[in-house]
Amino acid sequence: MEETFLEAVKEKMRQKGYKITGPRLAIIRYLTREKGHPDIQEIFEDIRVEKPGIGMATVYRTVSLLLELGILRAITLRGHHLRYELNWPDHHHHHLVCNRCGQVTEFGNCNFQLMSGEIEQVTRFKIEEHALEAYGLCPQCLSARLDYSTENI
Amino acid sequence: MEETFLEAVKEKMRQKGYKITGPRLAIIRYLTREKGHPDIQEIFEDIRVEKPGIGMATVYRTVSLLLELGILRAITLRGHHLRYELNWPDHHHHHLVCNRCGQVTEFGNCNFQLMSGEIEQVTRFKIEEHALEAYGLCPQCLSARLDYSTENI
DNA sequence: CTCACTTTTGATAAGCATTATCATTGCCTG
DNA sequence: CAGGCAATGATAATGCTTATCAAAAGTGAG
Ligand SMILES: [Zn+2]
Ligand SMILES: [Zn+2]
Ligand SMILES: [Zn+2]
Ligand SMILES: [Zn+2]
């Protein structure tokens, strides 16, 4: 899976005339390993461990390139700075964020197509994509809060 | 409606010990008039017309205050900078953005509660809020594109 | 209404994140 | 394995947001 994806990425870069360089490969490999939602600073710091000489500008440039190629996906949670994740094929999902500890979980149960038809009828738009984020309390913070309210009785 | 809302805002500010000042009133009045989704720069420029002396710092501070009080709502479209709209009571809605011209339309047909129960079961989160944005082509851009593809036959 | 107290304001400086610049390095094709 | 051109890394520049602080304005008591 990872290898096939990496080859597809390289092929896409070659087709568009971009060079496959050391820094770019390191960043792509890192992103295929990393399963979370790192921001640009985290990407920079993690890459620096294996490639100490890399510059922040290169990380910015590579992330922009991967976004342009559709390899990377950017998400915003509560309007905070951007976080990134690989755009694996056939993996439609959204994010659930804990309001207390910030933990991010993914969920795939998306029924958006049930409302999109009606929205298209009402607005006359043709819908192409959508973004959805849910906010609440994760299981850990939920039980912590329950304990707290019990204390207060 | 507008007057009732304005009074409710004033009351909320008094309760929290915030002073009702000229600049703050001007910004709130402007936001009740404005029906779009201005960003901080647009708010600043529009307010400056009626209150030429106002400083950018005050606009930033007032927007933060209104967000804290739940009077204002912030939205991000495609991870771009924040845009704002008043949090009118009982007006749950989301945004539909044209990928070509950027036009923003609101829609109220939201079936999120149909999926939230299942997501809560799977993830064990307690969901409190959600944000949803749809992207596509507005009616104008849609017909423009249809014309264009006809030309190309 | 006036005064005294406290918050708010506006101008300015400071702080960060992102982008632009440019000489040097390093892919890639032949 | 060399030449050409894109990419890199260091640094400067830009732009947006927050912090600072003296002056102004809102509030509540008298
Ligand atoms: Zn949590
Ligand atoms: Zn979806
Ligand atoms: Zn449009
Ligand atoms: Zn909704």
B146 in A contact zone (CB under 8 Å):
no
Which of B89, B117, B140 terminates a domain? The answer is B89
Same domain for B34 and B82, yes or no, is: yes
pLDDT at B151 over 60: no
What domain count does chain A have? 2
- What is the distance of C-alpha B54 from the center of its chain? 22
Same domain for B80 and B96, yes or no, is: no
Q: How confident is the model at residue A144 (pLDDT cuts 50, 70, 90)?
A: confident
Same domain for B73 and B96, yes or no, is: no
Instruction: Give the Å distance between the CA of A112 and the centre of ligand 2.
Output: 6
Same domain for A2 and A68, yes or no, is: yes
Beta carbons of A125 and B142 less than 8 Å apart: yes
Question: What CATH number should be reported for the domain holding residue B150?
Answer: 3.30.1490.190
Q: Is A12 helix (H, G, I), strand (E, B) or coil?
A: helix
Assess contact for A43 and A59: CB atoms under 8 A. Answer: yes
| Token pair for A97 | 């964020």
Same domain for A98 and A149, yes or no, is: yes
DSSP code of residue B41: H
Residues of A with CB below 8 A from B96's CB?
A: 119, 123, 125, 127
Same domain for A15 and A79, yes or no, is: yes
Same domain for B81 and B40, yes or no, is: yes
**Taking residues A143-152, what's their average pLDDT?**
63
Q: How confident is the model at residue B76 (pLDDT cuts 50, 70, 90)?
A: very high
A92 in B contact zone (CB under 8 Å):
no
Which of B71, B89, B107 terminates a domain? The answer is B89
Q: Are strands B126-137 and A126-137 parallel, antiparallel or unpaired?
A: antiparallel
Q: How confident is the model at residue A143 (pLDDT cuts 50, 70, 90)?
A: confident
pTM, two decimals, is 0.88
> Which domain range does residue A124 map to?
92-153
∠ at Cα B111 (B108, B112), nearest 5°?
110
Q: Are strands B83-86 and B72-75 parallel, antiparallel or unpaired?
A: antiparallel
Same domain for A60 and A106, yes or no, is: no
Same domain for A148 and A74, yes or no, is: no
Q: How confident is the model at residue B146 (pLDDT cuts 50, 70, 90)?
A: low
Same domain for B71 and B5, yes or no, is: yes
Q: How confident is the model at residue B147 (pLDDT cuts 50, 70, 90)?
A: low
∠ at Cα B82 (B77, B86), nearest 5°?
100
The predicted-structure confidence for B107-124, as pLDDT tens digits, reads as follows 998 999 999 999 999 999
Same domain for B101 and B44, yes or no, is: no
Which of A69, A89, A109 terminates a domain? The answer is A89
Mind giving me the DSSP string for A79-127?
A: T-S-EEEE--TT---EEEEETTT--EEEE----HHHHHHHHHHHH--EE
Q: How confident is the model at residue A153 (pLDDT cuts 50, 70, 90)?
A: very low
∠ at Cα B34 (B32, B35), nearest 5°?
100
Question: What CATH number should be reported for the domain holding residue B16?
Answer: 1.10.10.10
Candidates B118, B132, B135; nearest CB to A128: B135
Same domain for A150 and A125, yes or no, is: yes
